[in-house]
Amino acid sequence: MGNPILRLVLAALLLAIGSSHVFPQQRNLGVAATDERRVALVIGNDSYSRVKKLDNARADARAMAKALEAVGFKVTLRTDANEKTMREAVRTFKSQLSGGDIAVFFFSGHGVQLGSTNYLLPVDITSDNEDQVKDDSLPLQRVLDDLQEQKTKFSLAIVDACRDNPFRSKGRAIGGRGLAPTTAATGQMIIFSAGVGQQALDRLGNSDTDPNGVFTRVFLKEMERPSVSVDRVLRSVRDEVVRLARSVGSDQVPALYDQVVGDFYFRQGEKVASSAPLASAPAPVAGQFSVEDLKNQQESRAQWEKWQREMKGAFDQTAALALAPDLQAAAWGRFLETYAQDNPNSGEAAELRAEGQRRKQQAESEDARQSDETARKRREKVQVAIAAPSGQGLAPTAVADDLQRLAAGRVFRDCDVCPEMVVVPAGTFSMGEPPSEIERANGKVTQHKVTISRPFAVGKYVITFDEWDACVREGGCANRAEDKGWGRGRRPVINVSWKDAKQYTVWLSRKTGKGYRLPSEAEWEYMARAGTTTPFYTGTTISRDEANIGSKPDIFIYFTAWRAILVDKTVPVGSYPPNPFGIYDVIGNVWQWTEDCWSGDPKGAPSDGSARTGNDCGGRRVQRGWGWIAAPDSVADRQSGDPNSRGHAVGFRVTRAD
């Protein structure tokens, strides 16, 4: 070793070898490298216009946006967002994401479960039925699908929408409390502020002055912890929320769905710098032991076991119903809609659905057989009624130029897509309830004399979908009118407001050059009574063989909390015998809009058959005739409706006076 060159070579080798051990490698504890982007969409809705307002949602959203910005997220914040704003925000959020990004979606506001799908409600939600709620709100699954489609590296959905059912205060059985169980795609974490059927707390008591809801305030605190993985943050949130809720006697267990592989962090850990060279021995590699995925699987199995028990209970309850075939089929349909998911841990769900589908088809077949038989009997009755010498069996005249010259009972049509009209004679009648019936009147007008001085024409049938669709095609009517899947054609048009009906009369008048309008309330009752003085034109009572009505009281089937199935639906016009004037469906099938403003006071009602009108009518218009849902007390029954409202048991017919 005396050679100086050899000594220099050995020294260089030792220095090179030693340098690889002196400074230990440092592990990046952050959620993303510098080239990974963090993007977040935060929505908080408080100021609902037609359902219960909230107190904390805007404050929760603002606090969450601030916290996410502090850890490097580019945040889009929307508060009190209507349907258009929410949908635009989600589209923009999707366009901002690309493969490898880190994404967070936060929503605080009202949500509702319909079947197995969760919907987030905008502040302008105004719907009165499930179909419109589905159309006018944001499906949570759409957001989750967008995140998966953009191939984000990690995505987190935080949903604080497990409040009380926003529709219960309006008497509507739409959805239930809380949100339905969901599933996360690979790379996704989802946390709901409460579990199935639970309500999230906004505060811990009257003395609680924190501006944020319980779930969000805990979440904000836990995400401040550095070097703690997101899955651990979420579990800490759940544990603390459970503890706080129990302290005030409530049950709130946030629901967590986790399909993330690897660790992600809100806050990046601090790097540890080396102050001096260390010994040449290599540093130990830190262990990565974890059983969190096994705990997640156990929790998921427990949730699915509970769901499977509920499904079996609903199946047994539906099977035990002793209902008419159409109702039994509807019950099985609701069961299949509610439990449409597959249980990943058992094949029982698929077996129950297959059996439910078989029983539904069996009930539908029996209903079709009975309906054919009932229709045959009704056709026989209609043929007998048409053969009666009252004029209603006359073939329609092509065009009625001078209405006053046509005989009572004459049927005419002013164009090929126009409704058939029946000429009604002039006359005097007693409108409203007789004194003997007034004790059961519900907003009915007490009896008074009305004189109709000139003949007028009224729709032989209520306006059908065929007739309405002609108006839509020609640009006269803006609302297409949903048929709820019952069919269009000769069924009465439904889901039309008073203002929609007025659009139709304007279009029809312009098309024909004749004066079409809605009937006055007096004209409606005069043509409905058709010269009779009994509660119905059929006598003192009316049955389901004589009109498409329900029974008393309104018929509903309940087999799970907050869910109802209406027992019937509209039928094609003319399916039942007409009244003595040859006019069909004056009772049943649909309620019918009239021209009149609503008033419960008979004083001042016009005695000449004209409509009672005013500047704004107090925001209500009169409906007559009952619909398919329940049975009336008499032909004098009436109710009021918002002129902007649409419903699946409301339609209209038209009149013409010139």
pLDDT tens-digit series, residues 297-344 = 888 888 888 889 999 999 999 999 888 888 898 899 899 988 888 888
* Residue 379 domain flag: no
Q: 276 or 417: which carries more pLDDT confidence?
A: 417
Write the CATH number for 610. 3.90.1580.10
- Under the banding of pLDDT at 50, 70 and 90, the label for residue 12 is very low
Instruction: Note whether 400 and 252 are same-domain residues.
Output: no
Domain boundary among 232, 247, 265: 265
Q: Are strands 427-431 and 255-258 parallel, antiparallel or unpaired?
A: unpaired
Has residue 439 been placed in a domain?
yes
Q: 474-482 contacts: CB < 8 A, separation 24 or more?
A: 474/507, 474/511, 476/503, 476/504, 476/506, 476/507, 476/508, 476/510, 476/511, 477/503, 477/504, 477/507, 478/503, 479/503, 479/646, 481/646, 482/131, 482/132
| Structural domain ending residue among the three candidates 242, 265, 288 | 265
The one-letter amino acid code at 508 reads: L
Confidence of residue 261 (pLDDT cuts 50, 70, 90): confident
pLDDT for res 139: 92
Q: Could you report the per-residue pLDDT of 142-164, keeping only the tens digit for each?
A: 999 999 998 999 999 999 987 66
Please check whether residue 144 lies inside any domain of the structure: yes
Encoding tokens for residue 207?
A: 């003395």
- With cut-offs at 50, 70 and 90, classify the pLDDT of residue 176: low
Amino acid found at 390: S
In a domain, 525, yes or no: yes
Give the pLDDT confidence score for residue 46 in this predicted structure.
Answer: 92
Assess if residue 20 is contained within a domain. no
Q: Is pLDDT above 50 for 171?
A: no
Q: With 50 as the cut, is the pLDDT of residue 414 above it?
A: yes
At residue 384, the pLDDT reads 44
- Average pLDDT of every residue of the chain: 81
| pLDDT tens digits, 89-117 | 999 999 999 888 999 999 999 988 887 78
**With 70 as the cut, is the pLDDT of residue 239 above it?**
yes
Alpha-carbon gap, residue 580 to 527, rounded angstroms: 9
pLDDT on residue 566: 37
Quick one: pLDDT at residue 562? 29
- For 130-167, b/e burial (b = at least 16 CB within 10 A) is bebbeebbbebeebbebbeebebbbbbbbbbbbbebbb
Query: For the chain, what is the domain count?
Result: 2
Q: How confident is the model at residue 650 (pLDDT cuts 50, 70, 90)?
A: very high
- CATH code for the domain of 42: 3.40.50.1460
Cis peptide before 24 (omega within 30 of 0): no
> Tell me: the pLDDT tens digits for 500-551?
999 999 999 999 999 999 999 999 999 999 999 888 888 888 888 888 887 5
Whether residues 237 and 94 share a domain: the answer is yes
Q: 180, 118 in Cβ contact below 8 A?
A: yes
Domain that includes residue 155, residue range: 38-265
Domain annotation covers residue 491: yes
More confident residue, 36 or 452: 452
Domain-embedded: residue 53? yes
Residue 564 pLDDT grade (very low, low, confident, very high; cuts 50, 70, 90): very low
pLDDT at 285 over 80: no
Q: Which of 265, 287, 315 is the last residue of a domain?
A: 265
Q: Is 60 part of a structural domain of the chain?
A: yes
Task: Say which residue the tokens 């199946």 belong to.
Answer: 315
The type of residue at 201 is L
